Structure 1
Amino acid sequence: MTNPSANQAPGARPNTAAGPGKAAAPAKKWDKERVLLAVAGPVIALVVALVLTGVVLIASGKNPVEPFQLMSEQIGYSDQQVLIINQAGVYYLAALAVAVGFRMNLFNIGVDGQYRLAAAVTAIVGFHLALPSVLQIPVLIVVAMLTGAIWAGIAGLLKVTRGVSEVVATIMLNSIATSLIVWLCLTDNFGVPVGNNQTTGVMDKAGWFPGIGMGAAGEIYGFVFVAVAAGVVYWLVLNRTRFGFDLRASGASESAAAASGVSAKRMALTAMLISGAVAGLAGLPILLGDTHTYSQSFPSGLGFTGITIALLGRNNPAGIAVSALLIAFLDKASSVLDYNGYEKEIATIMQGLIVIAVVVAYEQVRLWGLRRQQRRVGLELAAAAAAVPSSDEPQKEAAAR
């Protein structure tokens, strides 16, 4: 008889994991069901949003299909492609800031105020500071991140020290940020009149972030690649570091995290600081790559759009990227509707319906997955029970002998 350990290296343990007479267990296969459940949520949400938008168009006496055809045609134009990519980069950073909070079960609604205040302060620093580009741009990025982190940290401190809901705190801080920006930039404090507009003045050219020229189509913001790098860092930190594990564990169960020695309060404050720092970057693609100044016309509302994108992308960097491209497409391609007898607010209606549909679809998918998991466990337990001999079988065998 062959020795089962004959082919093993000296001193190695024999492989008994598979049991006598059985082959070694195969490696864990790709979980197709888990992937399908992950994709089902956003797909269902988009389909429902499309159907409901069509119902709204029919109710208003409009063609329910033509608006989507007109918008889809815009993808073929290079100038629209540049606009969509640039807008998606901005949305991506805002959504990442929201997603960091979501991972800790924190609802950072203050991303809008954080990125606007960070952009305003960065514009002021960029106007009064003149360093070589290799130093100027990093300094401006650090200023933006610090401003966003400090503003979000106020809400984090209120939560961990006084138990104030981050939702209430960040909403109030958004309003305060608006007033603070007006006081800083749009008055004589740091404001610089440019024509009929009050701005922070044009920043020193050393702080302009270089982009990629696309000829007549325009220029892709160079900061788009910073957004991509931020997504990679986000994934690595959350999934490949101890800090990321502690953050996700604290968000899943504070009591379990505390039992393992993780301070939920410290993680909540840290998550808010990181969320604010990422939010501070959201305005830089526009500030450093386009306007080079902060004024009343600087885009607002990006933080609230980021909530939609983070929900649709399920806080996954790849999912957020696809969602950012989708929402950017709806924003930029909807301009063609005005010239064809349709209101461009159709895209806004669709975005709102996506938010509602996402919440409902994800909950339904979660229940489907839970039921399937319970059914699978039940079948495995039944199979295991059938394989174990009953207690009286040994007695029957002894009597037969």
Structure 2
Amino acid sequence: MATPKVVRTVTQALLAPLIAVVASVIVTSIVVSIAGSSVSDFWNVIFTWPSHRNMVNIINQTSMIFLAALAAAIGFRMNLFNIGIEGQYTLAGYTAALVAGYAWFPGKLNVLVALVVAMVVGALWAGIAGLLKVTRGVSEVISTIMLNAIAGTLVGYLLNNYGDQYGQGRRTTPIPESSQLSGWTPWTAADGSIWTLTILAVIAGVVVSVMINRTRFGFDLRATGTSEDAAVASGVKVKRMVVISMLISGAIAGLVWMPALFGGADYYGPPFQHQLGFTGIAVALLGRNRPLGIFFGAVLFAWLSEQANPLGLVADISPSIVQITQGVVVLAVVIAYEVVRRWTAAREQRELKAALGAEVAA
């Protein structure tokens, strides 16, 4: 039988998500109503079980959003704000596609080399911000935002001047057929395939979870993020931790587009998907920077994005309402957790005062 302490702990853990869900539903419903649309039609479309094709898209999108959020979470756990995931995976995606297209290595070895290149490029690009922070005191927020702009401009320049002509645009050389990954088709070919490299999200999640919770590096990372002064007092080399954390965050960011690249995109160009980095930041906040929480957040965002497509056709509602819903969910979760944290802290203080008062009276 559960003890009162266990029940209270579970209740506290569930209270914040419950408050966030209720608040999100209420606020979104008000927005839909103000927009002059049917609230019931909106929620009916959102909660309708997706078709097989949509389900495949949700799974594939979840893998990329999860990787982006995991990259952001590494920095957040260290109290670093890596806003540059967008630039890191953009530059890494272009470079990996370029290397894979040249096919210097045979078959699947070409895929492995491209993945390593993507991680190295992402890590080095994020490492610039880390070095600037520890050597010149430059805020990683400012430097990563600027590096986003530089990465986008650099890739655009290289693509326009050295890319292959493709319709009205440019692209890198397509990946050879021997290096393409067919994926897994759970239903029919018309429904599409789940990308083979969605497994990268699973591997990265497990590795990061073990690293943060079961290693000395993870302890130092969490300690530094909680209190830098206390970490220094315990012998943690904070500057080195900053650089290493940014390198790891960038390396994971470099993998964000890899499932899509080898899952059917086959080259960098029009198929490239932007904005995953910023989505990942929101999901990392939603998941409280924990891999399991990030997974559920990634599924939620992928679900909402995919279900937004039929809104205009079925319910005559603008799909942009979903973007508002995503923002409301993140804000509601952040606020709800802070409210519950303060309420819990206040209750514990009252209990402590009561216990001390009882001892004095005795």
Structure-1-length-normalised TM-score: 0.85
1:365 corresponds, among 320, 340, 349, to: 340
Q: Check the 8 A contact 2:50/2:307 in 1, yes or no.
A: no
Deviations 1:143-164 (A, max 9, x none): 0000100000011111111111
Match status 1:58 vs 2:33: yes
Deviations 1:287-327 (A, max 9, x none): 11120100144110001101111111101111111110000
Letter in 2 for 1:324: A
Question: Structure 1 CA distance, aligned partners of 2:178 and 2:232?
Answer: 47
| Inter-CA distance 117–59: structure 2 relative to 1 (3 Å threshold) | same
Structure (1 or 2) with the greater helix fraction: 2
Deviations 1:196-219 (A, max 9, x none): 331002112343234111313210
Q: How does 1:76-155 map to 2 (within 5 A)?
A: 76-155=50-129
Deviations 1:180-202 (A, max 9, x none): 10122232x2x011233310021
Match of 1:42 in 2: 17
Q: Check the 8 A contact 2:89/2:254 in 1, yes or no.
A: yes
- The alignment covers a number of residue pairs equal to 357
Segments of structure 1 that go 5 or more residues without pairing to the other structure are 1-27, 389-401
Q: 1:42 offset after TM fit, Å?
A: 3.2
Q: Check the 8 A contact 2:102/2:173 in 1, yes or no.
A: no
Deviations 1:11-68 (A, max 9, x none): xxxxxxxxxxxxxxxxx99844344333333332232122111111111222112111
Secondary structure of the residue aligned to 2:309 is helix
Q: Check the 8 A contact 1:42/1:312 in 2, yes or no.
A: no
1:356 corresponds, among 331, 342, 361, to: 331
Match of 1:257 in 2: 231
Question: Structure 1 CA distance, aligned partners of 2:5 and 2:199?
Answer: 31
Match of 1:327 in 2: 301
| Inter-CA distance 297–375: structure 2 relative to 1 (3 Å threshold) | same
Letter in 2 for 1:101: G
Match status 1:181 vs 2:161: no
Q: 1:383 offset after TM fit, Å?
A: 4.1
Q: Check the 8 A contact 1:159/1:165 in 2, yes or no.
A: yes
Q: How does 1:243-322 map to 2 (within 5 A)?
A: 243-322=217-296
Letter in 2 for 1:367: R
Letter in 2 for 1:67: F
- Identity across matched positions, percent: 45
Secondary structure of the residue aligned to 1:220 is coil
Question: Structure 1 CA distance, aligned partners of 2:292 and 2:73?
Answer: 12
Match of 2:356 in 1: 381
Question: Structure 2 CA distance, aligned partners of 1:123 and 1:240?
Answer: 34
Q: Check the 8 A contact 1:91/1:324 in 2, yes or no.
A: yes
Highest RCO, 1 vs 2 (Cα 8 Å, sep ≥ 6): 2
Letter in 2 for 1:372: R
Match status 1:234 vs 2:213: no
The structure number with the bigger radius of gyration is 1
Question: Structure 2 CA distance, aligned partners of 1:29 and 1:89?
Answer: 39
Letter in 2 for 1:46: V
Secondary structure of the residue aligned to 1:335 is coil
Q: 1:230 offset after TM fit, Å?
A: 0.7
Structure-2-length-normalised TM-score: 0.94
Segments of structure 2 that go 5 or more residues without pairing to the other structure are none
Match of 2:185 in 1: 213
Deviations 1:311-348 (A, max 9, x none): 11101111111110000000001101110311111101
Match status 1:196 vs 2:168: yes
Secondary structure of the residue aligned to 1:198 is strand
Q: How does 1:329-344 map to 2 (within 5 A)?
A: 329-340=303-314, 341-344=316-319
Secondary structure of the residue aligned to 1:193 is strand
Question: Structure 1 CA distance, aligned partners of 2:169 and 2:355?
Answer: 70
Q: Check the 8 A contact 1:186/1:200 in 2, yes or no.
A: no
| Inter-CA distance 261–325: structure 2 relative to 1 (3 Å threshold) | same
Q: 1:71 offset after TM fit, Å?
A: 2.0
